[in-house]
Structure 1
Amino acid sequence: MAKAMLFLSTIIWGSSFFILKNTLDEMPLYFILSIRFLVGALLLFLVGCKNWKKLNKKYLWAGGITGVFLALAYITQTIGLQYTTPSKNAFLTTFYCILVPFFCWGVTKKAPDKFNLVAAVVCLTGIGLVSLGSDDIGFNFMGDGMTLICGIFYALQIVAVELWGKDMDVILYTAFQFFAAFIICFAGFLLFEEAPASISLSAIGSLAYVSVFATTLAFLLMNVGVKYASASSSSLILSCEAVFGVLFSILFYPDEHITPRIVCGFVVMFIGIVINETKLSFLRKEKVKV
């Protein structure tokens, strides 16, 4: 059930890439993120009001630290999206699936096994086949560099949830993450931006979607999933958001088409997930039978 929640969150996030790209044309970065995290925090505080009796200092500091990682991840990813393609942004973000096993190793002293490492590399290869085309060759710091940095912060956020989320109420923990992220983003808005003079109905609809679904619901599902699954497995499943990002682009943009390269990428990613989840135990069983 936990892994199904993780997959559902990746589908929601995958649908948000092209929606957010269009929204950035009308609204500034910190304004969008402030609204997203404020809506998410308020909704979850309302939903979790019955659990306030569980509140203690750990929710404040753990939620605050995790929220800082979350805010920095979103800020750097959204800056990157302004200077690179949605597909490349989605691909480079999944750099975290390589980092999470090593960050967990540093925190828990439990080394990743060879299957975790091989699976991460295989999945990253598959994501590259799906996401990247000839137009995505090349590197620029503001687009690609900032997106890679966001992968570091996403990895830290996943590890933080793995480390602190086990014995906390997920709704309250997520709400405090959002509130901490809102404070950072709202400060950025006050310092660097002005409110948009006008906002179209389509932009309002897009902002509502990414606030309620791609922020509140998706992160709640992710935090529940990471709580009950390992961080390494969670990061690989979550990396599928790049694949769903491409699929939604194909569905909603007439210029996007399924190609043999994309199909190969799906197959390679599936192989990577199988390696991680099974440790190829079915092959060892076959050898024993022989």
Structure 2
Amino acid sequence: MAFLNQNIRTVLFARGALLCVAAIWGSSLVVVKNTANSLPPLFLLAMRFTLACAVLCAASFRKLKVVNRDYLKSGAVIGLCLFSAYGIQTIGVLSAMPGKSAFLSSVYCVIVPFLFWAVEKRQPDRYNILAAVLCILGIGLASVTEDFSISKGDSLALLSGFFFAAHIVSVAKFGKGKDPFIITILQFGYSAAFSWLLSLALEHEAIQWSQGALWGGLYLSIVCTGAALLLQNIGQKYTDPSSASIILSLESVFGILFSAIFYHEALNLRLVTGFALIFTAVLISETKLSFIRHIRGKRHAENET
């Protein structure tokens, strides 16, 4: 009984950790929008990735001895995708509401199977196709205006979703057989380098340091990047993939919640319906409705007994 209780506590702790990750990620765009009013977006990204990389390097400095040319090449490709995703998302949220941007960026879950199809010739299944149809309908309701146009902020959020998907595919392809901790350090390092280069070349406005900007930058670097990664690794170790996917997909819901609280983001029936379709598409793509089949199988077994 004590062993059983210990297992239950472990599972509950793991799922709680994943829920914290979803909440942290959901809050990140609100912090980004608020902090980017003082700090240029690329400078903010450079600060975020530099601090996160430094923390991870300090935690596992000895592991870096195995880094070779292959690691550096793989890290560069993955880092470029990660930088593109976060850079476009950060710039896009400046002209969009954080909650809406969070939902539109989450379409990466639906895009991933189709990118794998292009790269690995792994054909999407019926669940992926259904998710894509629902996602397109959701995007149409949430973003397309009456004159069939999409705002700049919404367009950038959707584009960032594509690069988040590209990042996942690049990790699967170029990170195969490599230490995930080292790959994480390298992608953060490359993302920091790309951010610094473009920030120095393109951003000439004065940096307005404030207490809020400093705390926002530290929160994004340490909590949203470093701590969230640690909690995600712990949570997914003791949680089945279907449950983990469902919990992590709540990121977009938390994004709307925090945006409504702190930015008074207005919602109407059309937006809510669009968000609901996108969220359903993400659930279908991530879980393939395995949790429903599990419940049906359990009920069937109970009826037979």
Alignment TM-score, normalising by the size of structure 1: 0.78
- Residue 155 (structure 2) aligns with: 145
Unaligned runs of 5+ in 1: none
- Residue 182 (structure 2) aligns with: 172
- Residue 16 of structure 1 contacts residue 214 of structure 1 at CA under 8 Å; is this kept in 2? yes
CA distance, structure 1, for counterparts of residue 213 and residue 187 of structure 2: 25
Amino acid at match of 1:217: A
Amino acid at match of 1:70: L
- Residue 171 of structure 1 contacts residue 220 of structure 1 at CA under 8 Å; is this kept in 2? no
Q: Does 1:186 pair with 2:175?
A: no
- The change in CA–CA distance for 1:274 and 1:239 in structure 2 (over 3 A counts) is closer
1:1-290 superposed matches below 5 A:
8-119=20-131, 132=142, 139-140=149-150, 142-194=152-204, 196-219=206-229, 238-252=248-262, 255=264, 265=276, 269=280, 272=284, 275-278=288-291, 280=293, 282-283=295-296
Task: Give the paired residue count.
Answer: 287
Amino acid at match of 1:76: I
Unaligned runs of 5+ in 2: 1-10
Alpha-carbon RMSD across the aligned residues, in angstroms, is 4.2
- The change in CA–CA distance for 1:11 and 1:210 in structure 2 (over 3 A counts) is same
- Residue 246 of structure 2 contacts residue 283 of structure 2 at CA under 8 Å; is this kept in 1? no
Alignment TM-score, normalising by the size of structure 2: 0.75
Query: Which range moved further: 96-105 or 164-173?
Result: 164-173
- Residue 274 of structure 1 contacts residue 280 of structure 1 at CA under 8 Å; is this kept in 2? no
CA distance, structure 1, for counterparts of residue 300 and residue 106 of structure 2: 34
Deviation string for 1:168-206 (max 9, x for gaps)? 222211110011111111111111113634311011111
Q: How far did residue 250 of structure 1 move?
A: 4.0
- The change in CA–CA distance for 1:281 and 1:6 in structure 2 (over 3 A counts) is same
Amino acid at match of 2:43: F
CA distance, structure 1, for counterparts of residue 210 and residue 166 of structure 2: 36
Q: State percent identity of aligned pairs.
A: 34
CA distance, structure 2, for counterparts of residue 86 and residue 281 of structure 1: 35
Deviation string for 1:125-162 (max 9, x for gaps)? 78999xx5999997445312222211111100011122
Q: Which has the larger radius of gyration?
A: 2
